[in-house]
A and B are shown apart, each in its own frame.
Chain A
Amino acid sequence: MNSYYEASARERLRLLLDPGTFHEFLPPSERVASPHLLQLDTPAAFDDGIIVGKGLLDGRAVLAAAQEGGFMGGAVGEVHGAKLVGLLERARDERPAAVLLLVESGGVRLHEANAGLIGVSEIMRAVLALRSAGVPVIVLDGGQFGCFGGMGIVARLCDAIVMSEEGRLGLSGPEVIETTCGVEEFDSRDRALVWRTVGGKHRYLLGEADALVADDAAAFRQAAIDLLDTKPDLSLEALTAEHERLGGRLERFGACRDALDIWSALGIAAPEKLPLLEADAFRAAVAGKRA
């Protein structure tokens, strides 16, 4: 078993796609690094922390991008963002079976905050344009740094999200909330609380993650293959339905203070046991109970 959580972005792509099929665009040898980091005397990576390219998944052509959390927490800078936008636009030209986004990001890279913020906005627009053109975008989220900030919004713009329980998805990271609002609001050192608030299992229960898999690259691969035939739907009907779901969530769970309250309200008998369950047992335990 290969841990997806521990793997680097490059290893994840290698493990996810059909062996030997990945071809990288703007590889490290092109040295398209961030000039802004260098200007601030901060080490830069030859790929600016994102690997973009094409390959085959189960024999079908896909484009893929993988963010490297080990470099600046996967944060989006000018080059990093532009590489992803370019890939999404390329997908509109090439129309692959899908675009795979192996997200791992704290959001905007502060060293180039304006470029990063605008870059994220361009990624958002490009994802929406691509989906409007009928190409599905599938997100994989199981890295060590989670998926936060603008990339957290991007992930939810896509067609489907695959998470492991180690994966996290949110907007403001727990440390940011704790620093700003105090430890009473969010104790970021209480990792059990962090994971049940933004972790994969909660996202799966809320219906935000479409698949919850074990921390195994092969499981991520299989889940991505299973989602390849997702058809993007940004119709009024689809969004109206989504709107009702989100409204229902506010009504049902808006007063809940903790994920355990939500899980309990979903009719799960022993919600406090959920975090301990392995992926298979967890899916079985919550079958038919997801929001």
Chain B
Amino acid sequence: MEKLIYEFDGGAPVKATQGPAIVGVVGSGNLEVLVEPENLGGRCVVEILTAARGFGDIWKAVLEDFFARHKLADLRISINDVGATPAVVSLRLDQAVESFLGGAS
């Protein structure tokens, strides 16, 4: 396994409707994404535990695009991953933030 931590800033504060949100399942080719509000001085911290080693660059690129899509601040995003493809990761991230912001869970 590999642990990866990334930080992003430049987002805007968001309002959660109901506290932390979780989507996805820790199963093969899938991942769970937990989004929690936390005072991080405007930054977002993403912590990833992944079964697939050596894909740090790809995670970084996926997350950069994610934070380009969503202007977010003061969020802790925690991920448990079992080799999900970037497409699945992007999808779960979008679902998680949508759920966090009060969309369908």
A residues in contact (CB < 8 Å) with B: 8, 10, 14, 27-29, 31, 38, 41-47, 49, 68, 70-72
Contacts and interface: CB of A to CB of B under 8 A. Distances in A.
Given A14-B105, A70-B27, A71-B27, A46 B22 contact: yes
B9 to A, nearest CB: 23
Given A44-B80, A47-B22, A68-B25, 20 more contacts: A8-B25, A14-B105, A27-B20, A27-B22, A28-B20, A28-B22, A28-B34, A29-B36, A41-B1, A42-B51, A43-B50, A43-B81, A44-B26, A45-B25, A45-B26, A45-B32, A46-B32, A46-B80, A70-B30, A71-B25
Interface of B: 1, 19-20, 22, 25-27, 30, 32, 34, 36, 49-51, 78, 80-82, 105
Given A29-B34, A70-B25, A46 B78 contact: yes
B1 A43 contact: yes
Contacts of B49: 43-44
A29 B20 contact: yes
B45 to A, nearest CB: 14
A43 B31 CA distance: 10
Nearest to B18: A20
A68 B50 CA distance: 19
B85 to A, nearest CB: 16
Nearest to B31: A43
Contacts of B30: 70
A45 B30 CA distance: 12
Contacts of B82: 43
Contacts of B36: 29
Nearest to A51: B22
Nearest to B80: A43
Contacts of B20: 27-29
A287 B84 CA distance: 46
A190 to B, nearest CB: 24
A8 B25 CA distance: 8
A161 B2 CA distance: 41
A149 B50 CA distance: 29
Nearest to B2: A41
22 contacts: A10-B105, A27-B20, A27-B22, A28-B20, A28-B22, A29-B34, A29-B36, A31-B78, A42-B51, A43-B49, A43-B80, A44-B26, A44-B80, A45-B25, A45-B26, A45-B32, A46-B22, A46-B34, A46-B80, A49-B26, A70-B26, A71-B27
